[in-house]
Structure 1
Amino acid sequence: MKRYGLIGEKLSHSFSKEIHEAIADYTYDLMPLSREEFPRFMEARAFTAINVTIPYKKDVIPYLDAIDDAAKAIGAVNTIVNRNGRLIGYNTDYTGFLYMVRKHGITLQNKRVLVIGNGGASAAIQAAVRHEQAAEMIVVDIVKGNGAISYEECFAHHLDAQVIINTSPVGMYPKSGASPLDLALFHCLEAVLDVVYNPLSTKLVLDAKDRGLPGVNGLEMLVAQAKQAVEHFLDTLIDDAVIDTLYKKIERERNNVILIGMPSAGKTTIGQSVAQRCGKEFIDMDAYIVENCGKSIPQIFEESGENGFRARESEAAIALAGRNGAVIATGGGIVKHKVNMDYLRQNGIVFFIDRSLDKLITTDDNRPLSSSAQAVARMYEERIELYRKYADHIVDNNTTIDACAERITEILNR
């Protein structure tokens, strides 16, 4: 029986199964291996072909009978094919990364490039950076040595980096609130690339975009390297067009739809309609908070004040940011704290439901801050620029719910 799959230490975050099974007609298994299990698995050779991820891309090499020239030069293997009992190693991270760089028009030639991390994935990226003729490549890692400098040395001498590439797992789900570097330190920065693909946009990538810089996540690289791995698995050639088609499909399915806007702007009703049209789960964040706290929102305000409610709201934002493929209607004040939006944007497309002030409800017992027309007007003035700032799309809701939901659905299906 033929057996295909992925080995690594922690694989719950992996998209590889759905990618391979979309490209090829075989079952692809996720096979997490502990350090103790890894040698026994490799010695048994009970597979047809496998991919390899953290932390085994270098560790597999002693078990192989042959390695192609590219993988040998890189010093890491992410694809192994069992040909009549002989294990042959390849590295498709290299070409996958170059696909991502070129797709987004990012130039590495004559640039000062900072590579974060020095593991198996980094080895392929370093080879690609050399191939692209960077003026200088600096590798920084938490463990100094093997060609990598410390973060202290990086901060002392290399804040003029023009391109930053993260090959470390920092920022990967479930620790998606982390970033390996503060981009504010890098005054010559032109672009950021991150090989992490879960979440769809890491904090590092979002920070780059917030600074008006190109920020690219690792999903395209993942799909591109998987396409080439399938070619090795099946000894065939596949058109590169499948990469973009599959990338867009995964992004569309995995992304959450985040609805922001004023209280009574229609987020819940519109969200329910969008979820039904797109076959997605609907989540009302205020209802989620009430369920988890066991108290109504007015009760939370009465017992803990607005600050207590905002703490519960941030907890909900962090938890819901880890979901995929949901429509999430947020509370009106979600944008008041940047950390909420930092989390929600990692796996989400943000829509501002824009409803005119004169159409908003000005008194609502379930909304403690909507106590009068004057209070709602003050909130509107306080928040309107934040809504616009965080929105990927602004959708008018001054006609009908159906028209607004249809417009959102059209944007999602582009």
Structure 2
Amino acid sequence: MSKSTNGRAGAGAAPFGLLGRRLGHSWSPRIHTSLGSAPYDLFEREPDEVEAFVRDGAWLGLNVTIPYKRDAARLADERSVRVERLGAANTLVRRPDGTIYAENTDVLGFSLMLQRFCERRLGTSAEHLLSGRSALVLGSGGASAAVRAALEDAGARVSVISRSGDDAYETLVERHGDAVLVVNATPVGMYPACPATPVPQGDLARMGSLAGVLDVVYNPTRTGIALAAERLGIPAETGLPMLVAQALRSSELFQGRTLDVSLVDDIERQILSETGNVVLIGMPGCGKTTTGKRLARILGRPFVDIDAAIEARTGESPARIIGAQGEQAFRRVESEITGEYGARSGLVIACGGGVVTVPANYDLLHQNGTIVFIDRPLPDLETSGRPVSATRGVEALARERMGAYRAWADVTLASTGSPSGNAQAIRGLLGL
């Protein structure tokens, strides 16, 4: 029996949707609802079901994802010049006469993302940046072809980097050290295997002409390669603008009307506001847990206390782990749990006071989160039941950690003295 993730895809099925084999969680229904192309469903099909579904299904507009983009191009009655060029389609439209038109809005979506990035972050146009200059596309899969086409349209000399051959990762810097743009079109760094990067930070640092880094991956918000670029002071952006922009172009075809391109910014802001974690850091006893619980209640989000999660996982409190095994053993467990929750979305996370003592924890928290430092006067800190505070003293801990708290923070909140006041203040500061 044909199926969708929300029911049968026969008579009465959603007129719009996403076709793929294993779809899992997708933001496409939420995006298309905002664009007006709804109801929008998720249609999971096995390879032997695709042709019948495309040719005979009761749909008006389809987005198509891996592994069926080439099938979509093949099964269409008419193909755009982009589809003819790439041999792959991600958008199908059923016309009033029943014929099927295929388009590749991945090219259009990446083109919009590229142009916006160059104008807003680099102060130039894509054509001015790229004309006659080297750009690298990491990976040779389906996303790579769309990215390559958009870069070539902007005038770039494009090289595709893969795991073997002349243009491999091992020779990237030696052969292409003059590249002005690197685009990750691989799944490396995608949730849940994040943060990870296909190109080490050291290689990016050796590319003296590199002006920007883009990644088509949109979850997490800051991928491993984007974080590496950020540390080097190189402008970077991940794939949410491309996702929304290609959906906008698809929706225009579905609805037969032009949509305001400003919707891309609006929808992107909404998604980031809803899915970004709020991460609370600060000295032990500054009120992270009580503030986080209040904030989570106000926002209607799940709350995670990292120390409590460690105890739930190990069966022992942080104090007992530190007492029995030492602080370093505890930090290893803390980093594991921090990475697990930092990779998720839409949480309020309260960290232990010492999370900043392990530099690698910054990427784990920053990849999907806005980090808020709760700055409470040292005399007001609670110290009971806090073994590190008791052993070293609050003043000594502050000297060791205060610089990291301030460096990690996207926002610093001077504690109001109450969890409720802190929560309301953070909500206001973050515009949630």
TM-score, structure 1 normalization: 0.91
The 2-side partners of 1:58 and 1:411 are apart by 46
Contact 2:167-2:175 within 8 A present in 1 as well: no
- Identify if the C-alpha distance between structure 1 residues 383 and 196 changes in structure 2 by more than 3 Å, giving closer, same or farther: same
Q: Deviations over 1:305-342 (max 9, x none)?
A: 21221122112112212322111110011122233221
Amino acid at match of 2:185: T
Residue 190 of structure 2 corresponds to residue 177 of structure 1 = no
**Deviation at residue 167 of structure 1 after TM alignment:** 1.2
Contact 1:98-1:128 within 8 A present in 2 as well: yes
2:4 aligned residue: none
2:114 aligned residue: 101
The 2-side partners of 1:256 and 1:70 are apart by 37
Q: For 1:51, what is the secondary structure of its paired residue?
A: strand
Q: For 1:193, what is the secondary structure of its paired residue?
A: strand
> Residues 6-405 of structure 1 correspond to what in structure 2 (within 5 A)?
6-24=18-36, 26-39=38-51, 41-42=53-54, 44-83=56-95, 84-104=97-117, 105=119, 106=122, 107=126, 108-110=129-131, 111-134=133-156, 136-142=157-163, 144=165, 149-186=167-204, 187=206, 188=208, 189-361=210-382, 363-365=383-385, 367-371=386-390, 375-397=393-415, 399-405=417-423
Amino acid at match of 1:72: E
Where does structure 1 lack aligned partners over 5 or more consecutive residues? none
Greater alpha carbon shift after TM alignment, 290-299 vs 394-403: 394-403
Contact 2:292-2:350 within 8 A present in 1 as well: yes
Q: For 1:338, what is the secondary structure of its paired residue?
A: coil
Q: For 1:178, what is the secondary structure of its paired residue?
A: coil
Q: Deviations over 1:270-323 (max 9, x none)?
A: 212222222222221111111122222222223322122112211211221232
Q: For 1:369, what is the secondary structure of its paired residue?
A: helix
Greater alpha carbon shift after TM alignment, 123-132 vs 74-83: 74-83
Amino acid at match of 1:371: A
The 2-side partners of 1:32 and 1:377 are apart by 58
- Identify if the C-alpha distance between structure 1 residues 410 and 375 changes in structure 2 by more than 3 Å, giving closer, same or farther: same
The 2-side partners of 1:41 and 1:321 are apart by 39
Greater alpha carbon shift after TM alignment, 39-48 vs 200-209: 39-48
The 1-side partners of 2:63 and 2:168 are apart by 30
**Deviation at residue 138 of structure 1 after TM alignment:** 1.4
Contact 2:73-2:83 within 8 A present in 1 as well: no
The 2-side partners of 1:36 and 1:143 are apart by 32
- Identify if the C-alpha distance between structure 1 residues 224 and 291 changes in structure 2 by more than 3 Å, giving closer, same or farther: same
Amino acid at match of 2:155: Q
The 2-side partners of 1:214 and 1:166 are apart by 14
Q: Percent identity?
A: 39
The 2-side partners of 1:182 and 1:291 are apart by 35
Q: Deviations over 1:67-117 (max 9, x none)?
A: 012322243211111224322110111221122222232444244211111
Q: For 1:60, what is the secondary structure of its paired residue?
A: helix
Question: Runs of 4 or more off by more than 6 Å in structure 1?
Answer: none
The 2-side partners of 1:44 and 1:220 are apart by 32
The 2-side partners of 1:267 and 1:163 are apart by 40
Amino acid at match of 1:87: I
The 2-side partners of 1:353 and 1:115 are apart by 41
**Deviation at residue 13 of structure 1 after TM alignment:** 4.1
**Deviation at residue 400 of structure 1 after TM alignment:** 4.4
Greater alpha carbon shift after TM alignment, 166-175 vs 51-60: 51-60
Q: For 2:389, what is the secondary structure of its paired residue?
A: coil
**Deviation at residue 162 of structure 1 after TM alignment:** 2.0
Contact 1:58-1:120 within 8 A present in 2 as well: no
The 2-side partners of 1:355 and 1:88 are apart by 61
The 2-side partners of 1:174 and 1:29 are apart by 24
2:7 aligned residue: none
Greater alpha carbon shift after TM alignment, 23-32 vs 202-211: 23-32
Contact 2:213-2:226 within 8 A present in 1 as well: yes
- Identify if the C-alpha distance between structure 1 residues 341 and 228 changes in structure 2 by more than 3 Å, giving closer, same or farther: same
The 1-side partners of 2:159 and 2:425 are apart by 46
Amino acid at match of 2:150: A
Contact 2:406-2:412 within 8 A present in 1 as well: yes
Amino acid at match of 1:22: S
The 1-side partners of 2:83 and 2:94 are apart by 16
The 2-side partners of 1:169 and 1:196 are apart by 7
Contact 2:282-2:353 within 8 A present in 1 as well: yes
Contact 2:35-2:248 within 8 A present in 1 as well: yes
Q: For 1:206, what is the secondary structure of its paired residue?
A: helix
1:5 aligned residue: 17
- Identify if the C-alpha distance between structure 1 residues 36 and 368 changes in structure 2 by more than 3 Å, giving closer, same or farther: farther
